Amino acid sequence: MPRYSVSQPVRQLEAPRLLKGQGKYTDDVALPNQAFAIFLRSPYAHAEIKRIDIAKAEAMPGVLKILTGKDYKADNLGPVRGISPFKKRDGSPMYRPDRPALAQNRVLHVGHLVAMVVAETVYQAKDAAEAILVDYQPLLANVSTAEANLGSVPDLYEDCPQNEPVYREHGDASAVDAAIERAAHVVTGTFPVNRVAANSMEPRAVNASYEPGREHYNVFACLQRPYVWRTMMCKHIFKIPESKMTITAGDVGGSFGMKGGLYPEVPLVVWASKKVGRPVKWTCERSEGHVADDQARDMHVEGTLALDENGKFLGLRLVSNNNVGAFITMIGFLSTNGIASAVTGPYSTPSVHGVGRAVLTNTVPVSNYRAPGGAPSAYVIERMVDIAAAEMGIDPAEIRKRNLIPAEQMPYRCPTGETYDCGDFEKVLNKCLETADYSGAQKRREVARSEGFLYGIGVSMAVDPSAGPSPETAELRFDPGGDLTILCGTTAGGQSHETIYTQIVSDKLGIDSDRITVIEGDTSKLSWGTGTGAARSATIGGTVVFQAAEKIVDKAKRIAAHMLEAAADDIEFKDGVFRIAGTDREVTISAVTEAAFLPNQLPPDLEIGLYETATWSPEVANVPNASNLCEVQIDPDTGVAEIKRYFSVHDVGVELNPILVDGQMHGSIAQAAGQALMENMAYDPVTGQVLSGSFMDYAMPRADDFCGFELDRHPIPTPTNPLGVKGAGETATVSGLPAVMNAINDALLPLGIKDISMPATSEKIWQAIQMRN
């Protein structure tokens, strides 16, 4: 097998194994004598539980155990919790409602867990679940994102008035007020951001067993943060030492943030494995996932942009209600802070003000999803920029150029306090315009109009602060035969970490790729790791892998010097060979590795073996950025919008593997376009019933919904980490939402239709056209 280098376009090393069906996902884990779990979920958005009768269900064939909230409370198990770093509007600590894994006296959303059935087979468990009798007393439901905190709807919790558990504010409100007062032109608007579902290819699953002799739990689960999950379960729920639980992720088939937080089903399956004395397995079914998996977005944003007579930005304000659902998930509140802090965008706006308000409703809880704060804020900002351009008669690209942060001002201190490390936003925009033949867009519009179509061009800019301060750990272990194992606290969910980490180490140590094994997502192998999320794996995970490799080289130099009878300072290392500088005397890293395990070949002050650990956290986030251009054609007779051309130019710093970066961009754009055009988790406004509970009602984008995406890059290495890498997983989503929506609204503008909200479905567009006609 070859040696690889950083930035080499290597095909995914994982691909052959996964494509041949040789991966090992959680549902593939089959333990001896395992039982199966099924959950009974609430059919109501809000109701009081009067009575649960399990007598008939308990007597059914194959049933091993039925557990309810009463049992959960009797075993003194703690609630599913998360961190609470923010505050409420009055400055008191943020409100986090207790979330027992099984409902106690009330259900608070459709899909809320009411009971758990453990049986010999899945079908026996399903039959028993249907036999459980629950007496519900329906209550008024609150599902409105815009009105949840206005006092006009019931409070979900008595100790959280107006359903507002978190309040975040960034920037200078009075300065923005003054900017609006003196502005020559002001754009205001209300921009709803539709709720979506992550719909990862692999449904969530858990398989747990308990060893009574060791008092130890073994948990297999598909997740992003196994070490964080272990801490949450051991500390808050089971109240046991972390050494009493091992969590293994295995292969993970997609997540996008949805599998980052701890779900109630996980501790319930773990608990059940001890109660029945057998391994217990649960795999979420696709329709179940629509009310069981954390959902995303769902914001109501009011925006204001103040400009002078030349189109220069004077002030910018975003005020957002962020629907977090019935409970605050482990990290679901982050979008509330994210949209408030991301108000600067790529623009040099003197005064900015961002407000984020979390609101509790009788809906499925919300968690992170590809750029949870950055994508919605960019959507609103970029829509207002386009509206300003149209109202002031300025070209959309030109108005952006007038306001972009100049490259010479980097590092740039934002009015909200964040620092942008580096970037040349104008060059990224210009490259996108040139690649897309922006100057020829008007001609393409005229051709489409001559054929009876509406045609729109959407330009967008975006920044997406990624991989902020958070530690990660990696360990590199050579064995005596010269094979190397990389252990890292991240967990791959389709991002090809095995390929990236192998490239870094193969390049640094000069060893063949087939001698490298990558292990992630196993808490028994490494002491701690933060996990995957916020486009941090290549940036932070890659850095600690690189740093551990540097430590390997440092120790190996001392061993090589001893073998060559030279001073360590005289040893050079290149391409897997240690050489005395200026001579031909050398020894390979394989020989050094073998010597590292032979005490008689080591210097007296060195420990036996060749393995090193590195832990590191960046001081600040890095700021990948992008410019996208989308061209959309609309059939006015049907309202169908078709993406005809799409271009994206990105700056993600040093690209460790351009093929993988392109893959991230393709997926990011597709998810953005999917939300813009069709995806929507809809709720009945009165009953709180989920109206898009399956793929019959929830539109998932397919490959034939898009044209080909043309990608280019303008990389500027970041100084925030030794690899020069910026996050690559979210930037195209951040820039994609506004690019598509700007194009659609541009196409409709000649008809006097000024703003179509997401999702821009054919029905919504057609109705808007009919109203104008």
Query: Would you state the torsion angle of the CA atoms of residues 55, 57, 61, 65, taken in this order, to the nearest 10 degrees?
Result: -80
Residue 308 contacts residue 137 (beta carbons within 8 Å): no
* Closest of 525, 530, 663, 18 to residue 260, by C-alpha: 530
The domain segmentation of the chain, as residue ranges, is 31-139+201-254+259-292, 295-467+620-772, 470-616
Who's near 403: CB < 8 A, 6+ residues apart?
311, 312, 313, 347, 348, 349, 385
Residue for token pair 């990862």: 200
pLDDT of residue 285: 95
What are 123's two structure tokens? Answer: 């079908």
- Please report the DSSP string for 459-523 in residue order: EEEEE--BS-S--EEEEEEE-TTS-EEEEES---SSS-HHHHHHHHHHHHH---GGGEEEEESBT
Residue 741 CA to residue 646 CA, distance in Å, equals 13
The reply to whether 470-616 shares the fold of 295-467+620-772 is: yes
DSSP-assigned letter for residue 599: G
State yes or no: cis peptide before 411, omega within 30 of 0.
yes
What are 481's two structure tokens? Answer: 């035969």
Residue 535 contacts residue 468 (beta carbons within 8 Å): no
- Please report the DSSP string for 130-164 in residue order: HH-EEEEEE------TTTTTTTSS--SSTTSGGG-
Between the alpha carbon of residue 29 and those of residues 175, 259, 335, 416, 523, the distances in Å are 58, 18, 34, 47, 17
Write down the CATH superfamily of domain 31-139+201-254+259-292: Aldehyde oxidase/xanthine dehydrogenase, a/b hammerhead (3.90.1170.50)
* Closest of 498, 707, 480 to residue 596, by C-alpha: 480
If you count them, how many residues does the chain have?
773
* Closest of 321, 322, 342 to residue 332, by C-alpha: 322
How many Cβ atoms sit within 10 Å of the Cβ of residue 253? 18
Q: Which helix (H) or strand (E) holds 40?
A: strand 35-41
DSSP-assigned letter for residue 704: G
Judging by beta carbons within 10 Å of its beta carbon (0-12, 13-18, 19+), is residue 220 exposed, middle or buried?
Answer: buried
| HSE of 279, CA atoms in CB hemisphere, 13 A | 13
Residue 587 CA to residue 116 CA, distance in Å, equals 62
Residue 255 contacts residue 490 (beta carbons within 8 Å): no
Identity at 555, one-letter amino acid code: K
Residue 358 contacts residue 328 (beta carbons within 8 Å): yes
pLDDT of residue 1: 59
| HSE of 26, CA atoms in CB hemisphere, 13 A | 29
Determine the 3-state secondary structure of 230 from DSSP.
Answer: helix
Between the alpha carbon of residue 592 and those of residues 53, 182, 274, 521, 561, the distances in Å are 69, 71, 48, 30, 10
What are 444's two structure tokens? Answer: 């393409």
Who's near 628: CB < 8 A, 6+ residues apart?
432, 458, 459, 460, 462, 646, 647, 648, 649, 669, 732, 735, 736, 738, 739
Residue 296 CA to residue 443 CA, distance in Å, equals 39
pLDDT of residue 393: 97
pLDDT of residue 494: 87
Judging by beta carbons within 10 Å of its beta carbon (0-12, 13-18, 19+), is residue 572 exposed, middle or buried?
Answer: middle
- Predicted TM-score (pTM) of the model is 0.94
pLDDT of residue 481: 93
State yes or no: cis peptide before 759, omega within 30 of 0.
yes
Determine the 3-state secondary structure of 273 from DSSP.
Answer: helix
Residue 593 CA to residue 475 CA, distance in Å, equals 16
pLDDT of residue 512: 94
The parts of the chain modelled with pLDDT lower than 70 are: 1
Strand order in the sheet with 166-171: 166-171, 351-360, 313-325, 295-307, 185-197
Helices (H) and strands (E) in the chain, counts: 19, 28
Residue 577 CA to residue 549 CA, distance in Å, equals 14
Residue 637 CA to residue 769 CA, distance in Å, equals 9
In degrees, rounded to 5, the angle at the alpha carbon of residue 496 between the alpha carbons of residues 492 and 497 is 60
Between the alpha carbon of residue 160 and those of residues 20, 89, 156, 538, the distances in Å are 52, 11, 8, 40
Residue 659 CA to residue 7 CA, distance in Å, equals 9
Q: What are phi and psi of 651, to 5 degrees?
A: -125, 100
Judging by beta carbons within 10 Å of its beta carbon (0-12, 13-18, 19+), is residue 485 exposed, middle or buried?
Answer: middle
> What does DSSP say about strands 295-307 and 313-325: parallel, antiparallel, or unpaired?
antiparallel
Q: Which helix (H) or strand (E) holds 188?
A: strand 185-197
Q: Which helix (H) or strand (E) holds 613?
A: strand 611-616
Residue 267 contacts residue 245 (beta carbons within 8 Å): no
Residue 171 contacts residue 377 (beta carbons within 8 Å): no
Q: Which CATH code fits 470-616?
A: 3.30.365.10
Q: Which CATH code fits 295-467+620-772?
A: 3.30.365.10
